[in-house]
Amino acid sequence: MNNNIYFVSLGCAKNLVDSEILIGGLKHQDYNIVNDIKLSDTIIINTCGFLDVAREESVDSIIECTDLKKKGLIKQLIVMGCFSSRYKDDLIKEIPEVDAFFGTSDHSEILSFITGKDFKKDDPDYFRSLLTPKHYAYLKIAEGCDNICSFCSIPMMRGLQKSNTLEQNVLEASNLAKRGVKELLLIAQDSTTYGTDLLPKSSLYELLDVLDNVKDIEWIRLHYAHPAHLSRKMIKRFSRLEKLIPYIDMPTQHGSDKMLKNMKRGLNSAGIKNKIDLLRQANENIAVRTSVIVGFPNETDKDFDNLINFVEEIEFDRLGVFKYSEEEGTSAAIDYKDNVPKKIKEERYAEIMKIQQKINLSKNKKRLNKVEKIIIDVSNEDGWSLGRSFRDAPEIDNYVKINTKLDVGKFYDVKITNAYEYDVLGELIN
């Protein structure tokens, strides 16, 4: 029995949860998850297929591991995830060294393949093994997506939306809380359509109402909210619920009405601004994170100017920029030519980031001398710590650096003393 398994998890937080569930199932079957690839008998790669850069990373990882197998250093190589799901037939032909390819949620099939035993579909879910620090965890409330955004291939890889029931999500949240999780990060392809596929139907605000009662969870953070589907009832929860922190990750994608229409986003720029106005009315402290795409087909200088005006007017608290990448099989790839030169995409990317830097610095300066509740992620032996305010999600947002060694996973009151473009410095308030 080849008991040592090395795991490679690529891509987004949704992939990370899939990896955690499978690793938990493997540990429950007495397999060892090793941190040194040289000690492994089996390698499992959980791939990402969302953008060309991610696909290249997935291919590179697979090729690197096939070399180890050819040299006899590992016995088995298994590939799963979005990239594997979408290009399985091609990959089987191109990389025969891989023992098996699986999709995004084939946990029971992978366990059966490795162990030779039969598993029910949901068996591994109860044994999730966290790959995040123990004080925060992702709660994947739904799988798949029903949206038709013209640039996105996710529905082709993860299928249509399938929401977990309220009971399933509450049970998972309660289990995480018992394991010491203080911050719950809600994720789905589109969290705002949660529950519309359930019988009877449910909704995101109803889910948050019950999650707000989960004992020992202190912060609930909302990710991947589609502005077109963000309801007024959900927006009102930002002023009513105790544990739902004033933070929303809401990809807006553009500020030009022409681009938004071609992207099939369902709202124009005025509609998006209205949703943000309603969020800020519900909670004046709310931090709005967004992501935008530059270089979408036929994006003119005028369209890009509209995006600049949009970003400058709204003043997002956190912002990420993607350069358009043509995704095979999407309506954008079928209907349009990828006709914005790479150099223009790079220039537009840099310009938006520069504008956002100024906005970040201005907002950070307003935090000076204020006391904030900070959760600690890193504690260094040299006597400093890194923490986050409610404005900042782990991995993707900014930090508060404190010149004191504090306990990871605990909350502290910290006074902000210095402000920079991204991070801030603070001192502990006794």
Q: What is the structure's pLDDT at 178?
A: 94
For residues 239-248, give the mean pLDDT.
96
Strands (E) located in 10-67 = 32-33, 42-47
Q: Which residue has better confidence, 15 or 283?
A: 283
Q: What is the CATH number of the domain that holds 14?
A: 3.40.50.12160
| 248 & 345 share domain | yes
DSSP state of 202: -
- Domain end among 73, 104, 124: 124
Q: Which long-range contacts (CB under 8 A, 24 or more apart) does 116-121 make?
A: 117/29, 119/25
Q: Which residue, 383, 368, 374, is CA-closest to 414?
A: 374
User: Looking at residue 396, which CATH number applies to its domain?
Assistant: 2.40.50.140
List the domain range (segments joined by +) for residue 113.
4-124
Give the model's pLDDT for residue 120.
Answer: 64
Q: Is the pLDDT of residue 222 over 70?
A: yes
Statement to judge: residues 353 and 398 lie in one domain: no
Same domain, 116 and 151: no
Q: How far is residue 128 from each of residues 181, 186, 332, 395, 427, measured CA to CA in Å? A: 13, 16, 37, 21, 36
Please calculate the CA angle 357-362-366 and round it to the nearest 5 degrees: 140
Q: Which residues contact 120 (CB under 8 A, 6 or more apart)?
A: 108
Per residue in 155-175, pLDDT (tens digit) is: 887 788 999 999 999 999 999
52-61, 146-155, 210-219: range with lowest mean pLDDT: 52-61
Whether pTM > 0.75 for this model: the answer is yes
Final residue of a structural domain among 365, 382, 414: 365
Express each pLDDT in 261-275 by its tens digit.
Answer: 999 999 999 999 999
How much is the average pLDDT of 42-64?
82
Provide the domain count of the chain: 3
In single-letter form, the type of residue at position 401 comes to K
pLDDT digits (tens, 9 = 90+) for 311-346: 999 999 999 999 999 888 889 999 999 999 999 999
Q: What is the mean pLDDT of residues 107-123?
A: 77
Q: Who's near 396: CB < 8 A, 6+ residues apart? A: 289, 318, 320
Domain limit, last residue, from 109, 124, 139: 124
- Considering only residues 160 and 12, tell me which one the structure prediction assigns the higher pLDDT: 160
242 and 152 in a common domain = yes
- In this prediction, residue 21 carries a pLDDT of 85
Task: Report yes or no: 101 and 91 within 8 Å, Cβ to Cβ.
Answer: yes
pLDDT at 126: 52
- Claim to verify: residue 112 and residue 249 sit in the same structural domain: no
Based on the fold, state whether residues 340 and 378 are members of the same structural domain. Answer: no
Chain position carrying tokens 């790669």:
45
Amino acid 152: pLDDT: 87
Instruction: Answer whether residue 38 shows pLDDT above 80.
Output: yes
The percent of residues in the chain predicted with pLDDT above 90, rounded, is: 64
Q: Are 358 and 409 in the same domain?
A: no
- Same-domain pairing of 301 and 181: yes
- 359 pLDDT above the threshold of 90: yes
Under the banding of pLDDT at 50, 70 and 90, the label for residue 415 is very high
Q: What is the pLDDT of residue 312?
A: 98
Q: Give CA–CA dist 429/391, Å, rounded.
A: 19
Sheet holding 42-47, edge to edge: 32-33, 4-9, 42-47, 76-81, 100-101
Closest residue by Cα to residue 109 from 101, 94, 99, 119: 119
The answer on 395 and 310 residing in a single domain is no
198 and 331 fall within a common domain: yes
Residue with tokens 């990828």: 338
Same domain? For 113 and 182 the reply is no
Q: What is the pLDDT of residue 2?
A: 60
**Shared domain check, 290 and 176:** yes
What pLDDT does 87 receive?
83
Please tell me the distance from the alpha carbon of residue 303 to that of residue 283, in angstroms, as a whole number.
31
Mean per-residue pLDDT, 280-298: 97
Q: What is the pLDDT of residue 65?
A: 87
Mean of the per-residue pLDDT values of the chain = 91
**CA pair distance 422, 359, nearest whole angstrom:** 10
Give the CATH number, domain containing residue 145: 3.80.30.20
Rounded to a whole number of angstroms, the CA Rg of the chain reads 22
